[in-house]
Amino acid sequence: MADSKKSAKLSIDGKDYELPVFSPTAGPDVIDIRKLYAQAGVFTYDPGFTSTASCDSTITFIDGDKGELLHRGYPIDQLAEKSHYLEVCYILLYGELPSAAQLEDFESRVTNHTMLHEQMKYLFRGFRRDAHPMAIMVGVVGALSAFYHDSTDINDPWQREVASVRMIAKMPTIAAMAFKYTIGQPFVYPRNDLDYASNFLRMCFAVPAEDYEVNPILSRAMDRIFTLHADHEQNASTSTVRLASSSGANPFACIAAGIACLWGPAHGGANQACLEMLREIGTVDRIPEFIARAKDKNDPFRLMGFGHRVYKNFDPRATVMKQSADEVLELLGTEDNPTLQVAKELEKQALEDDYFVDKKLFPNVDFYSGIILEAMGFPTSMFTPIFAVSRTVGWISQWKEMIADPQLKIGRPRQLYVGETRRDYVDIENR
């Protein structure tokens, strides 16, 4: 942590308290309140932790006003345009761009850990065929700790490294197997001669009855989806991983906790909500009606996939994702898919409407990623599992950073208690 060169004064009941103020390399200053309760006997109140910094981090920085997302200082649009997912994984994990030899070694280690322990396939049979893929992923990822005992000691740096590589490598296999299980098709094993995104697509869509060739345009689009969702600072699921890990839980359990949090529709389900909205609109001719509803303050309808809670300008990931969406739609066409026809026309009309332009409600990454996944043939139930595959490296990077932090303490939020004060128990006969 940086040294405090400033302080803030807090007055409570006529008594002043000096609180250290830390200045980050980017972003707002942070008031250190760690000793506030001990000195003044009060807590701070911040539901949702929207004004609270819970940790130091050197991994990801977001400037919502500028529309900027940096991984270790590298802008996300440059990484998505010039790099690929496993190189971004290396940057997030180790902090620097890899040399050619380092990247080759890292890619080799990930590729050679993509298979699951063979006994794990029996776990899938314990789920109903109509189970949501996220339900399967929460269970299977948590169960990894029962199969890989040699990488659960969080105090061993080498075991932390092995666990990190294993989870990045195995998550696509788990997600693809969950998908195959729910549609009643046989599992497809990974292949070491394919890149990360191509391997995932093959495991999802190949069948034993015929050969499957991965289209490079689809593979590139899939790689960008992974890249653009790799990490997003201290969001709900990342904070869940950090909170779980603060207790000393094994890494597989911590990532399973992150997956469970991501499952929530307010977090990982944004692109699914976008597709459901497009299906509700139904046809191109109904778009003006729904745009008018979105402008009406008295109508609860909102255009999903436009604007962003964090980015007050534009989502820096959306420009690159739009390029991929255009490439995928040109390849696969939209003639027979009314949902994709609605998506393209809605984007066009919204970007030409002064209401959305003035309020900076531009299409975000979820709008375009949902379009791409729909065009590829993924059901909406797979959108969040794919998000989990992407975000695994972010969770792992944050987990490794936290475990190595000398300031590590178990998370223990306080509360503003508004319930009953002490009262005496009355026997049931006297009530």
pLDDT (tens digit, 9 = 90+) per residue, 61-120?
999 888 899 999 999 999 999 999 999 999 999 999 999 999 999 999 999 999 999 999
- Residue 398 has a pLDDT of 96
- Residue 361 has a pLDDT of 83
Active site residue 84: no
What average pLDDT does this structure show over 170-195?
A: 97
- Count of C-beta atoms within a 10 Å radius of residue 232: 19
From residue 213, alpha-carbon distances to 114, 201, 219, 277 in Å are 19, 10, 11, 32
Q: For residues 92 and 60, what is the distance between their CA atoms, to the nearest angstrom? A: 8
**Residue linked to tokens 């180790």:** 94
Residue-wise burial string across 241-254, b where 16 or more C-beta atoms lie within 10 A, e elsewhere: bbbbbbeebbbbbb
- Count of C-beta atoms within a 10 Å radius of residue 149: 10
The residue among 244, 271, 269, 246 whose CA lies nearest residue 256 is 244
**Is the per-residue pLDDT at 376 higher than 70?**
yes
**Is the per-residue pLDDT at 3 higher than 70?**
no
Q: Is residue 279 within 8 Å of residue 31, measured between CB atoms?
A: no
- Residue 238 has a pLDDT of 96
What rounded mean pLDDT belongs to the chain? Answer: 91
- The residues, ordered by sequence, that sit 6+ positions from 137 with a Cβ below 8 Å of its Cβ are 174, 175, 178, 259, 385, 388
What average pLDDT does this structure show over 278-287?
A: 90
Angle at 126 between CA 396 and CA 167, to 5 degrees: 15
Q: What is the DSSP letter of 263?
A: T
Quick: pLDDT tens for 318-335: 888 888 888 998 898 877
Q: For residues 145 and 163, what is the distance between their CA atoms, to the nearest angstrom? A: 10
**Is the per-residue pLDDT at 1 higher than 70?**
no
Q: Which of 84, 229, 232, 308 is catalytic?
A: 308
- Residue 180 has a pLDDT of 97
The residue among 291, 290, 287 whose CA lies nearest residue 355 is 291
**Is the per-residue pLDDT at 2 higher than 90?**
no
**Residue linked to tokens 């195995």:** 170
Q: How confident is the model at residue 224 (pLDDT cuts 50, 70, 90)?
A: very high
Q: Is residue 176 within 8 Å of residue 140, measured between CB atoms?
A: no
Alpha-helical (H) ranges within 333-429 are 338-351, 354-358, 365-376, 383-403
Report the share of the chain in percent with pLDDT over 70. Answer: 99
**Is the per-residue pLDDT at 4 higher than 80?**
no
Residue-wise burial string across 396-429, b where 16 or more C-beta atoms lie within 10 A, e elsewhere: bbbbbbbbeeeeeeebeeeeeeeeeeeeeeeeee
Q: For residues 426 and 151, what is the distance between their CA atoms, to the nearest angstrom? A: 52
Q: For residues 298 and 431, what is the distance between their CA atoms, to the nearest angstrom? A: 48
Active site residue 366: yes
**Cα–chain center distance at 219:** 20
What average pLDDT does this structure show over 235-245?
A: 95
- The size of the chain, in residues, is 431
Q: Which of 315, 366, 405, 427 is catalytic?
A: 366
The residue among 396, 430, 402 whose CA lies nearest residue 141 is 396
**Is the per-residue pLDDT at 134 higher than 90?**
yes
Quick: pLDDT tens for 202-213: 999 999 999 999
What average pLDDT does this structure show over 292-317?
A: 81
| Token pair of 234 as six digits | 């201290």
**Cα–chain center distance at 33:** 29
Q: For residues 324 and 200, what is the distance between their CA atoms, to the nearest angstrom? A: 17
Q: For residues 99 and 195, what is the distance between their CA atoms, to the nearest angstrom? A: 18
Q: For residues 316 and 60, what is the distance between their CA atoms, to the nearest angstrom? A: 14
Alpha-helical (H) ranges within 117-263 are 121-124, 133-143, 157-183, 196-205, 216-228, 236-245, 251-262
